[in-house]
């Protein structure tokens, strides 16, 4: 694939989007049987499955923390997810992405509630199309909530880039390959930046604008994440029904 001559033509990107447009996005919560929580996400051409197990026992035991849960995150790309088949197994890039993604989410998890346990987050990239780490974090946030892990809030992520000297939100593959900068950012719902990486070339002013653009993109993603969680249940509950809902029964019910 040769570099296209121009990546922006008449203010439109090659895939028809404007600079502030996200690619088509679809979240679905609670899709796996065995995992405690899960989320399948299609984000542009990315296809991502995130799942959470936890809180659960820590293996190996020496990793336990007596005052809080440990959070682990494993980002993994399927061999068939990329153009040239990738050898299965973690490589240095996956390990780095796993670390920063974990840190992006750990800041909102209420870990102190579950000492001596582990909250394990697994993200499998089934198809990659630029922005996989952001997609992973978006799906993982939903999977954490789906698993019932208490958190301060959800975390949303997207990447801003620069192509043809223009800042654009949510890079696609060509823009990522041939662009001038790539800035993946994750923010909590309260606007705190929990992931920030950059490579390429950005002036200070460009960086400031890029962050603002990312925050706008993340707000939109947050709405979709919440929607996916609400949709899973499809119905509202009326308060005059089953007051047992609010009254957690004291003690178990005796038998026979």
Partner 1 sequence: MEREIVVPGDMLGEDPKLSGSGTYVQDGKVYSANYGLVDRRSSIKVIPLSGRYIPARSDLVIGKVVDVTFSNWIVDINSPYEGLLHLSEFPERVDPANMNKYLHAGELIIARVADVDPTMKVELTMRDEHLRILKQGRVIDISHVKIPRVIGRNGSMISMLKKDLNVSIFVGQNGRIWLKGDEKKVDLAIRTIFKIEREAHTSGLTDSIKDYLNKELEQLRNT
Partner 2 sequence: MSEDIIAEIKRDYIYSLANQGDRADGRKFDEFRPISIEVGVINKAEGSSRVMIGQSQVVVGVKVQPGEPFPDTPDTGVIITNLELVPLASPSFETGPPREDAIELARVVDRGVRESGAIDLSKLCIESGQKVWMVFIDVHVLDHDGNLMDAASLGAIAALRNTTMPYARYGLGEDVKLPLKDVPVGITAVNIGGVIMLDPSLDEENVASCKLTVITNKEGALAGMQKSGVGTLTPDEVKYIVHIAKDKANVLREKLEGLS
Residues forming the site for partner 2 (CB under 8 A): 32-35, 38, 45, 47, 49-51, 53, 56, 59, 74, 76, 78-85, 88-89, 120, 122, 124, 126-129
Question: At closest approach, how far in Å is the CB of 44 from partner 1?
Answer: 24
Residue 62 or 248 with smaller CB distance to partner 2: 62
Q: Among residues 138 and 189, whose Cβ is nearest to partner 1?
A: 189
Q: Exposure of 73 by Cβ count < 10 A (0-12 exposed, 13-18 middle, 19+ buried)? A: buried
Q: Cβ 165 to partner 1, closest distance in Å?
A: 36
Structure tokens at 31: 């899709």
Identity of the residue, 18 or 24, whose beta carbon is nearer to partner 2 in the bound complex: 24
Binding partner of 111, given partner 2, partner 1, none, CB within 5-8 angstroms per partner class: none
> Of partner 2, partner 1, none, which one sits near residue 246, judging by CB under 5 to 8 A according to partner kind?
partner 1
Residue whose C-alpha is closest to residue 73's, from 132, 121, 110: 121
Using alpha carbons, list the distances in angstroms from residue 57 to 43, 64, 69, 102, 105. Answer: 33, 9, 10, 19, 20
Pinpoint the alpha helices (H) of 147-203: 173-178
Identify what 62 binds: partner 2, partner 1, none; CB under 5 to 8 Å per kind.
none
140's contact among partner 2, partner 1, none, with CB below 5 to 8 A by partner kind, is none
The answer to whether the CB of 39 falls within 8 A of the CB of 50 is yes
Q: Which one, 130 or 186, has the nearer CB to partner 1?
A: 186
CB 168 within 8 A of CB 175: yes
To partner 1, the closest distance from the beta carbon of 99 in angstroms equals 23
Residue whose CB is less far from partner 1, 204 or 253:
253
CB closer to partner 2 out of 173 and 226: 173
Between the alpha carbon of residue 230 and those of residues 29, 233, 235, the distances in Å are 9, 6, 8
**Residue 151 touches which of partner 2, partner 1, none (Cβ within 5-8 Å per kind):** partner 1
Residues of this chain that bind partner 1 (CB under 8 A): 36-37, 54-57, 66, 108, 110, 114-118, 145-154, 188-190, 225-226, 229-230, 233, 235-249, 251-256
CA–CA distance, 92 with 246 (Å, rounded to integer): 48
Whether the Cβ atoms of residue 56 and residue 72 lie closer than 8 Å to each other: no
Partner whose binding site includes residue 165, from partner 1, partner 2, none (CB under 5 to 8 Å by kind)? none
Please give the helix or strand (H or E) that residue 206 lies within, else none.
helix 204-231
- Name 88's Cβ contacts closer than 8 Å, sequence gap at least 6: 78, 79
């Amino acid at each position: 694939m040769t570099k296209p001559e121009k990546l922006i033509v008449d203010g439109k990107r090659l895939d028809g989007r404007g600079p502030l447009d996200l690619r088509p996005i679809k979240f679905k919560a609670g899709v796996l049987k065995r995992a405690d929580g899960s989320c399948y996400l299609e984000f542009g051409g990315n296809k991502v499955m995130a799942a959470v197990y936890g809180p659960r026992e820590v293996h190996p035991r020496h990793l336990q923390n007596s005052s809080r849960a440990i959070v682990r995150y494993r980002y993994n790309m399927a061999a068939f997810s990329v153009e040239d088949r990738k050898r299965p197994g973690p490589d240095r890039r996956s390990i780095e992405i796993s670390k920063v993604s974990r840190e992006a989410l750990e800041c909102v998890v209420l870990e102190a509630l579950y000492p001596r346990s582990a909250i394990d987050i697994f993200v499998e990239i089934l198809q990659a199309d630029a922005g996989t780490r952001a997609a992973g974090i978006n799906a993982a946030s939903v999977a954490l909530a789906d698993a019932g892990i208490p958190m301060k809030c959800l975390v949303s992520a997207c990447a801003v880039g620069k192509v043809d000297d223009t800042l654009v939100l949510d890079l696609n593959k060509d823009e990522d390959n041939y662009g001038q900068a790539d800035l993946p950012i994750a923010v909590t719902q309260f606007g705190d930046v929990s992931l920030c990486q950059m490579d390429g070339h950005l002036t200070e002013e460009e960086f400031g604008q890029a962050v603002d653009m990312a925050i706008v993109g993340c707000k939109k993603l947050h709405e979709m994440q919440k929607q996916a969680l609400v949709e899973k249940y499809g119905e509202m509950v009326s308060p005059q029904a089953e007051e047992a809902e609010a009254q957690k029964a004291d003690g178990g019910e005796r038998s026979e």
